[in-house]
């Protein structure tokens, strides 16, 4: 019997690569599509992953050598090469498509008109080409998209952020009140986050009009670097971004502490954010794929995060662990200087997610990796140079 086929869009990236390896191990047949734009942006910015990531060819060869299974790969720009993409869909006939293929850094998206326009055109067209191609190919496949917690905004309301939909009470013309559910109002904080908010509308429309089966995972900030599968061989190592555009906050703090650099807390540090370890990311995607209903009466939205923290508390935790200094730098971003954040994540918990939390020795694992590759560290990459 043929194994269930999963097409991983953006499968060379930070979340996509470990997901492809994890799903392969779980018995799925895997094909990756990626245009390697993320590697090109590294060159454009003059930065590189702290970990020595190998070429996609070496990665795939290593997988074949270690597991005897082949991961197929197509070098293809989904935003701009619709026909070739449609061709892959028709030939491969995936049972599920995991969509990671977007420009994902808020600071990069805010650098200039060029990067704003690139982010909008890349992200919106990739998502829309995917939806149009699934309709045109008449595939009954399940689309799993990596969305972001950032679509909700980071308000101060003392209310748990629900999983995508909000109950509201409307007053009808006859004076009666009626309860309705709407998509949670989007409140993006960057052009990048805005494209994710637009994605939601496209998903809602294609689900309503064509019955497409879509799960949108509203993910928090991913931290960590390695998973069980990427640790098997150094040629499979995952990327580790620490630069001012692509490095996310907790990985940056851990990297900075390992290099004796002051922790760069933006503003008051009283911003609260949602986090998830990369091992839980890949597990959540497996859970989402394995639990797709036959019929989606609406887009299934799940909050993919395991814990929330104030940035200054994270910095203090790392200071206690490593003795690092904390530098409260002026905030390069236009964001609330302080917020509360309570998030519902019952859906993935019900499906079996058992979170790997910050305290479990994983912080040390990251600082160890940072130290191991310290010869690749470039302090010039640390400052954030995107202001908005």
Catalytically annotated residues? 148, 192, 196
191 binds, among ligand NAD, ligand USQ, none (CB under 5 to 8 A by kind): none
Strands 213-219 and 165-171: unpaired
Distant-in-sequence, close-in-space partners of 193: CB < 8 Å, separation ≥ 6: 106, 148, 150, 151
CB atoms within 10 A of CB 177: 8
Residue in 6, 7, 255, 265 binding ligand USQ, rule: CB under 6 A: 265
Burial class of 368 by CB neighbour count within 10 A (0 to 12, 13 to 18, 19+): exposed
Residue in 5, 25, 39, 266 binding ligand USQ, rule: CB under 6 A: 266
Burial class of 40 by CB neighbour count within 10 A (0 to 12, 13 to 18, 19+): exposed
Closest CA to 299 of 164, 148, 107: 164
273 binds, among ligand USQ, ligand NAD, none (CB under 5 to 8 A by kind): ligand USQ
Given the rule CB under 6 A, which of 30-38, 132-140, 265-273, 352-360 is the region that contacts ligand USQ? 265-273
Let me know how long the chain is. Answer: 388
User: How far is the C-alpha of 162 from the C-alpha of 145, rounded, in Å?
Assistant: 18
**Residue 9 forms beta bridges with which residues?**
33, 99
- To ligand NAD, the closest distance from the beta carbon of 206 in angstroms equals 18
Q: 119 or 257, CB closer to ligand NAD?
A: 119
* SS3 state of residue 293: coil
Q: Which residue has the tokens 């454009």?
A: 44
Asked whether position 271 contacts ligand USQ by CB under 6 A, the answer is yes
Q: Which residue has the tokens 């394995």?
A: 290
Burial class of 284 by CB neighbour count within 10 A (0 to 12, 13 to 18, 19+): buried
Q: 133 or 285, CB closer to ligand USQ?
A: 285
Residue in 22, 74, 111, 252 binding ligand USQ, rule: CB under 6 A: 252
Residue in 8, 21, 38, 289 binding ligand NAD, rule: CB under 6 A: 38
Q: Binding to ligand NAD (CB under 6 A): which residues in 44-83?
A: 77-79
Residue in 123, 126, 148, 303 binding ligand USQ, rule: CB under 6 A: 148
Q: Which helix (H) or strand (E) holds 183?
A: strand 177-183
Q: Would you give the binding string for ligand USQ spanning residues 77-116, x where CB under 6 A is met?
A: ---------------------------xxx----------
Residue in 254, 311, 348, 363 binding ligand USQ, rule: CB under 6 A: 311
Q: Would you give the binding string for ligand NAD spanning residues 95-134, x where CB under 6 A is met?
A: -----xxx-x-----------------x---x--------
User: How far is the C-alpha of 279 from the C-alpha of 12, rounded, in Å?
Assistant: 16
| C-alpha distances in Å from residue 16, one per residue of 99, 196, 235, 244 | 9, 17, 16, 21
Asked whether position 333 contacts ligand USQ by CB under 6 A, the answer is yes
Q: 73 or 206, CB closer to ligand NAD?
A: 73
Burial class of 83 by CB neighbour count within 10 A (0 to 12, 13 to 18, 19+): exposed
Asked whether position 16 contacts ligand NAD by CB under 6 A, the answer is yes
Q: 44 or 234, CB closer to ligand USQ?
A: 44
Asked whether position 284 contacts ligand USQ by CB under 6 A, the answer is no
In contact, 249 and 332? CB cutoff 8 Å? no
Asked whether position 149 contacts ligand USQ by CB under 6 A, the answer is yes
Q: 373 or 388, CB closer to ligand USQ?
A: 388
Q: Which residue has the tokens 């919106």?
A: 124
* Site residues, ligand USQ (CB under 6 A): 104-106, 148-150, 220-221, 248-249, 252, 264-266, 271, 273-274, 311, 333, 335
* Site residues, ligand NAD (CB under 6 A): 10, 12-16, 33-38, 77-79, 100-102, 104, 122, 126, 146, 148, 219, 221-222, 248
């Amino acid at each position: 019997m043929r194994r269930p086929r999963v097409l991983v869009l953006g499968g060379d990236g930070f979340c996509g690569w470990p997901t492809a390896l994890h799903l392969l191990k779980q018995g799925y047949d895997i094909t990756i599509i990626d245009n390697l734009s993320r590697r090109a942006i590294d060159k454009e910015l003059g930065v590189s992953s702290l970990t020595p990531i190998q070429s996609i060819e070496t990665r795939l060869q290593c997988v074949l050598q270690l597991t005897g299974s082949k991961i197929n790969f197509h070098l293809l720009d989904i935003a701009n090469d619709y026909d070739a993409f449609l061709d892959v869909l028709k030939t491969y006939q995936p049972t599920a498509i995991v969509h990671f293929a977007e420009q994902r850094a808020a600071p990069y998206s805010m650098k200039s008109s060029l990067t704003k326009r690139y982010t909008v055109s890349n992200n919106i067209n990739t998502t829309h080409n995917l939806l149009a191609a699934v309709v045109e190919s008449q595939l009954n496949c399940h689309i799993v998209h990596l969305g972001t917690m950032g679509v909700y905004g980071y308000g101060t309301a003392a209310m748990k952020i629900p999983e995508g939909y909000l109950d509201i009470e409307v007053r009808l013309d006859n004076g009666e009140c009626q309860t309705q559910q709407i998509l949670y109002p989007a409140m993006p904080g960057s052009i990048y986050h805005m494209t994710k908010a637009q994605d939601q509308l496209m998903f809602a429309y294609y689900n309503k009009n064509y019955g497409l089966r879509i799960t949108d995972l509203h993910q928090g900030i991913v931290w960590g670097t390695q998973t069980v599968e990427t640790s098997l061989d150094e040629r499979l190592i995952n990327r580790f971004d620490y630069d001012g555009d692509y490095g996310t906050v907790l990985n940056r703090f851990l990297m900075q502490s390992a290099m004796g650099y002051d922790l760069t807390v933006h503003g008051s540090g009283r911003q609260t954010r949602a986090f998830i370890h990369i091992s839980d990311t890949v597990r959540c995607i497996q859970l989402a794929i394995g639990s797709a209903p036959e019929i989606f009466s609406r887009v299934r939205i799940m909050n993919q995060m395991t814990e929330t923290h104030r940035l200054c508390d994270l910095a203090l935790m790392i200071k206690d662990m490593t003795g690092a200094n904390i530098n409260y730098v002026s905030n390069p971003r236009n964001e609330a200087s302080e917020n509360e954040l309570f998030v519902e994540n019952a859906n993935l918990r019900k499906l079996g997610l058992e979170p790997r939390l910050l305290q479990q020795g994983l912080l040390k694992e990251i600082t160890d990796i940072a130290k191991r590759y310290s010869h690749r560290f470039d302090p010039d990459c640390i400052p954030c140079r995107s202001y908005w």
